[in-house]
Each structure stands twice: as C-alpha cells, then as structure tokens.
Structure 1
C-alpha cells in the first residue's frame, strides 16, 4: 500500500467543499428504502456451519471499512456506514446468524488489520488481484470497471493523459496499478508524465476536479457515476468504462471464513436478495450469478 501524498490537505478539501455548490460530500447522503432488510433474512444453516469456531462462538463479524467511497460505502449524517456494500454485508451477517460490527479505518489499514487478526472481513470496494491475494483471500461478489470523469465540456482521453493531473483515492487500484502503468507508457513514449494526485477520500478527489485543481479523476465505475450525479453538471464521464475486475471481501489467508462467506453470498444471490439490494442503489449492471474465491488476476 502507498502512503498518500496530498495536493491539498484532506481537511482543507472537506472545508473547501462546503464553500462551493455542486461539490461532493461523502457524509449525510440518504440511503434508498430497502425492500429486503436484513431483519427479514433467514439464517442459512449450511453456510453458518462453515464459520470458524471463534467467530461462531462470538456471534460477531468484525468488518473494516473506510466508508469514504459513495455509493458503495460511505457515512450518513450521524457518521454511520451506509451504501450498497453495507446493505450486502448486513444481509450477509443475517444469513450467517452474526451481528455485524463495523470498524471505520483508512483503506490502507484494513488488509493489515485482517492479517493481524483484529478484523474478520474487509468491505471497501477492494479489487481482487494477484498481488493482494498474497496477503488475503477474496470472496468475489461484483464486477466493476474503471471510469474517468473530467470537468463538463473538457475533452480528456484516459488512454492519452500524458501531462495531466489526475486525482484518485489513495491506495485504490487506480492509484497503485492503473495510473502508474499509464504514466510509464507516457514516459516510454517520451511524453510528459501524468501527475498522479492521491487523496485520503474519494470526495476530495472529485472536488479537486470540480475546483480546477486536477484535470480528471479515475475511480471505479459506480463511484464515478455517483460523483458525476452529485456535482450539478460540473463533471461528466471521460470515455467509456474499461478494465472490469471483481470486487472482493478480503478475509484472512486460509481461513474457513472464506467458504462461509461464499456460501452465504451465493444464498443471497439464489434467493434474489442480492439483486434487490443492487437494484435499490442502481448498480445492478455489475451483479454476478456465481460467488467465487480469488477469481481476480
């Protein structure tokens, strides 16, 4: 994971966002009304039987999230996690007969907390890839692509961004993989480097583009589309969605928890709860029919 280097301090970005209409704020948003609340979901006994003994006995699933990536996972006005990922994990907990306990942490602290045993599962739109699989196992549950956004009326080509400032959330796939590869291609071609500008939160990255402090932003497709919808026409998509890859819930490497989560999530797919949750948030295009483990590459 990379240490973030900020164009402007995150606190200043959040303050500045309050001074401009059409800026992104990842707190205070209202969640859609759900037709399938976790309280109505019946326990799947076969999935629950697969749980590690210590989690089964505790009756609690400790879930780490940065809650800063709307609409996937973010905070309501009271600071509580909401989003379609949260609805899925609430349903997952209900299927396993577990209370879900959310621990809000910075994105780059979640996988180390899982490997260290202080968190059971991560829920922060993690892209499952081979590098991360060296540390944790992933239960894959969604397909997301990458989508760029730029100021309305500006032409930005994600395949030719040499010399541009591009904002991202620190330690996301876009920060650690996508943009470094694009930057290297620019350098190899003798073109100006891409100025990769990481921020602590996704709303700060989007605000940097709105405020003219970056030329574009790159994020997962549902996140970019949400950011565009929140900026009163100040942002628009730059190009098409590309490089689809699975989102996965990371769990400790070799843990029995992976099989339990896989079985419970598949049960949610099979009974229709999964599709209902995605549809409530308008993100059903990335839904999958089969829940797999470590399907990323």
Structure 2
C-alpha cells in the first residue's frame, strides 16, 4: 500500500463487521470455501447466447464481452477475504462475490496475484481490469492522492462498494501487553501489512504519542498480513493490526486458536470497493448493476452468511461511498 493502497487504505478508513460477530465468523470461516471464477461466453460468436443466459451481459464494454474475462488484480494472501486453499485454489469472500457477479454478466473473473501496494498501479497500466482485494474505498484513492503527503500521484480510481469492515488490534494470546486501544501502543512495537489502513492508523497514533512524549510506536510493515502474523507469533512485536474479518480469522485459526487474541474494538469502519479505472465508467456501472442484482436475488446474502461476516453486509451497491 503506497500512495493509496490498503487494504486497506492509505487515507484512513477500514472496514466494519461487528465485534459481536466474532464467534459466528470463526465457526463459519473454518469450513468455508469458494469458487475463483464464473462461467460465461468467451467469444464474439457466443455473445447472444451469453446475453440470454446472463441478464446483464449487454451492460459490459464490448471488449470485455469479446474476451469473456474480467482480469482481477488481488493480493491473494488475506484470509478469509481472498486466499488459496490446500489445493491451491483461490477461495474467499471476494472470489465468491466475483463468481456471482460473473453469472449476471456472462464472464469469468480471473484472479491474478499481486502485492497489495501495486494493485492500483497495475490497474492504471491496464494489467488488470479491476482490483478486488479487500481494498478500502477512500477519498485519497478516488482522487489519486498520497494520504501522507497530500500530493497527486495518479488519476485515481472509482469504487463499487460491496462490503464494510473496521480495523482491529490483536496480540499474542494471554499476553496483551496492557493494550486495549490504539493509545496504548505508545512505546510498543506493532506489525502491519504495508500500505494498509492499519499502517496509516499506527503512523497517526505514533505522532500523538511523540507529541505527548509517551514513547515512540515502532511500526514494522510487511508485504502481506501473514508475514506480519508470523513475526508477532515469534515474539518479534507486541501487537498486530489488520481488517476485522482477517484479524478474527487469524485469532480463530492460527495455532488452532491458541496463538492470538483480539483486543479492544474495531475502529475506522469503511467500505471495501472494487476498484475500476476512472475512464472505464461502462465497466464500473455494469459491476454496480450486477452487485445490486445479487443483493436483490439473495446470492450476496448467502455468500456473506457462508463466511460468517453478516455484520459487514451492504444493502445496495454504491459508487465511491468512501471518504
């Protein structure tokens, strides 16, 4: 997460999913699994057939209808949002939602793995058609602004918002170091994924700690969240932070539930969005229509319930709802 990449975010706002949902989330997350792609037509010749089978196919740009594929940039190491199962298959909340969207649009969503902080760059260079990776919809990302410097770094992206989540802190189980809130991190070390809202929050809190002369927060960023968890598990830090669904999943599954514990409550509730290039409004609007369709037909609700994250569900597809 560089100039505006998080999970994750560079400006501020993460995701929500109520703390009360932890128990439900854990139980369901352990058994969940999802599909990576959808079925649909892949050639011009099949266009009419795809349209009849997929009610919203005609809303897509012709170039994507011709390919039959939407290329998705994603950091596939963020369970339960997107990750690879034991067989190497891409599974999670995002792939399942993408599969349902593809059925409406008559195309496959093909996930390509990339480092989170390079996804928007890949979108700008047209390596991907969209970025879908638990990415927080923020004003900074919409405007292409670096949230730390305030400088313009690109043309920005549009988001189709599909979930909401907050940021959580977790520690080694039975050793919370007295940490209950972000202000308790003064003088301590925290591990985070680079470019995320968690990193942004840690930097902002560190500034407060230094101003109050309460001791520096040592922030150690990693390319992915699993590396940060490994560091904390080995005793290399006092705490870690990530989006609530991810933190809750790690608490439930790592070491059979014996490695970590959540501390305090979620902060910075904000939407996850599917990022689309600013000049690709036709694709953006097609995705919005497809998301609204699966919300109305109940498919979205089934997916969210499958992964035990109902508290983060949205009731309509919004464009650029983040701030």
When normalised by structure 1's length, the TM-score is 0.84
Give the corresponding residue for 1:289: 315
1:145-168 CA distances to partner (integer Å, 9 max, x unpaired)? 111101122231333211111111
1:103-149 CA distances to partner (integer Å, 9 max, x unpaired)? 11111121111111120011110000011112111100111011110
Measure how far apart 1:50 and its partner are. Answer: 2.2
Give the corresponding residue for 1:277: 303
Flag the 1:286–1:209 CA change in 2: closer, same or farther, 3 A: same
SS at match of 2:100: helix
In 1: Cα distance, 2:276 partner to 2:120 partner: 8
> Unaligned stretches of 5+ in structure 2?
4-28, 41-51, 144-155
1:51-70 CA distances to partner (integer Å, 9 max, x unpaired)? 12211222110011110100
Measure how far apart 1:89 and its partner are. Answer: 0.8
In 2: Cα distance, 1:132 partner to 1:48 partner: 28
1:18-33 mapped onto 2 (5 Å cutoff): 32=32
Alpha carbons 2:79, 2:246 under 8 Å: kept: yes
Q: Does 1:247 align with 2:272?
A: yes
> Unaligned stretches of 5+ in structure 1?
4-28
Q: Pick which of 243-252 and 93-102 moved more.
A: 93-102
Q: For 1:199, which of 215, 219, 222 is the aligned residue?
A: 222
Measure how far apart 1:292 and its partner are. Answer: 0.3
Q: Does 1:220 align with 2:243?
A: yes
1:115-154 mapped onto 2 (5 Å cutoff): 115-134=124-143, 135-153=156-174, 154=176
In 2: Cα distance, 1:30 partner to 1:229 partner: 8
In 1: Cα distance, 2:73 partner to 2:286 partner: 18
When normalised by structure 2's length, the TM-score is 0.78
In 2: Cα distance, 1:258 partner to 1:129 partner: 16
Alpha carbons 1:31, 1:82 under 8 Å: kept: no
Measure how far apart 1:283 and its partner are. Answer: 1.1
Q: Does 1:266 align with 2:289?
A: no
Aligned CA RMSD, in angstroms, stands at 2.2
